[in-house]
Amino acid sequence: MTAELMIGTDLAAEMVAKAAERAAALQEKYGVQPCLATVLVGDDPASATYVRMKQNRSKKAGIGSRSVVLPAETTTDELVAEIRKLSEDPEVHGILLQHPVPAQIDERAAFEAIDPGKDVDGVTMLSFAAMALNDASDPGFRSATPGGIMRLLAAYDVPLEGAHAVVIGRSPILGKPAGMLLLASNATVTYAHSRTRDLPELVRTADVVIAAVGKANFVRGDWLKPGAVVVDAGYNEGNVGDVHFEEASEVARLITPVPGGVGPMTIALLLEQTVDAAEAQLGQCPGS
Ligand code: NAP
């Protein structure tokens, strides 16, 4: 079997084009340009690249960007103070704190300094609870990568109801919320992590596999059930995913490429949610 590719690039471009139209409408109606603030702590080159990509895409979508770059030795209090300033700034509609932050920082405290109404990357406890409770009430933003994955699965008509989904990884920004969103779509969800026993055996029972580990080529082709749907959220040095692509595409029915699969969907959802946030802050029902 040679798997069909689940390509995020075109779908993401459509999402960004729609977000751009809505951003232009806000500019025309209220004279306000939606603005995404990015916060980067330290000088990790990969993080700096991700932030730059998000700013470039924002610009293309007519979304303004504000960039805050802080030194690696920043303390939790200093970071929290910077984020609070953005939370209180009426010209900023969405806030993204680039993950991971240096080890001395309490990342949770920093995330919680984001006004939930501006949490367009879906990292606050409120957004997390909204995903866990499957509650669509405001603000309740989706974590950008899991939300992007769900949009990709929907676009390729992947049946989730009753399907067994194995999520490998349980980070609060990716694995955990991905599992919660799959559960909300009536999948039967198993989380795997670094202490899981017999991982290949477990993965062989999955109709849908979400790989969110951060280890290059970790999931092998002979771990997969023939016909499985494989979503590779990993992004490792040299543009390599967490799934051994060549092996997996011989067994899977559908598979995301790296790059061009989950990555563009993450940015598209972030921009879409920035426009949602701006609309809500201007008193307009998001998407109306
Ligand atoms: P993370 O915080 O390091 O979490 C990794 C998870 O993998 C943890 O839950 C860990 O388990 C689990 N794990 C580690 N070794 C394992 C093993 N041998 N067997 C099973 N599970 C294992 O990473 P993350 O932030 O979630 O990111 C994961 C990957 O996604 C990275 O490659 C990252 O670059 C990528 N990513 C991509 C996007 C995108 O837009 N495409 C966005 C975010 C992240 P424990 O909990 O037990 O430690």
Could you report the per-residue pLDDT of 64-112, keeping only the tens digit for each?
999 999 999 999 999 999 999 999 999 999 999 999 999 999 999 999 9
pLDDT at residue 110, as a whole number: 98
Q: Give the Å distance between the CA of 281 and the centre of ligand 1.
A: 33
Q: Give the Å distance between the CA of 173 and the centre of ligand 1.
A: 9
Of 267, 23, 280, 284, give the one whose Cα is nearest residue 121.
267
Mean pLDDT of 6-23: 97
- Rounded to the nearest integer, the mean pLDDT of the chain is 96
Mean pLDDT of 235-258: 97
Q: Which stretch of 46-55, 144-153, 265-274 has the lowest confidence by average pLDDT?
A: 46-55
For the Cβ of 8 lying below 6 angstroms from any atom of ligand 1, the answer is no
Residue 287's pLDDT band, with cuts at 50, 70 and 90, is confident
Of 190, 209, 194, give the one whose Cα is nearest residue 6.
209
Domains in the chain: ranges and CATH:
29-115 (3.40.50.10860), 144-262 (3.40.50.720)
Q: Tell me the whole-structure pTM to 2 decimals.
A: 0.96
Mean pLDDT of 30-51: 95
pLDDT at residue 286, as a whole number: 78
For the Cβ of 174 lying below 6 angstroms from any atom of ligand 1, the answer is yes
For the Cβ of 196 lying below 6 angstroms from any atom of ligand 1, the answer is yes
Consult the annotation and say whether 170 binds a ligand: yes
194-228 pLDDT, tens digit each: 999 999 999 999 999 999 999 999 999 999 999 99
Nearest C-alpha to atom 40 of ligand 1 is from which residue? 263
Pocket test for ligand 1, best of 51, 171, 198 (most atoms within 8 A of CB): 171
How would you label 11-38 residue by residue, b for 16+ Cβ within 10 Å and e otherwise? bbeebbebbbebbeebeeeeebebbbbb
Of 205, 182, 177, 202, give the one whose Cα is nearest residue 192.
202
Residues acting as catalytic residues: 54, 98, 121
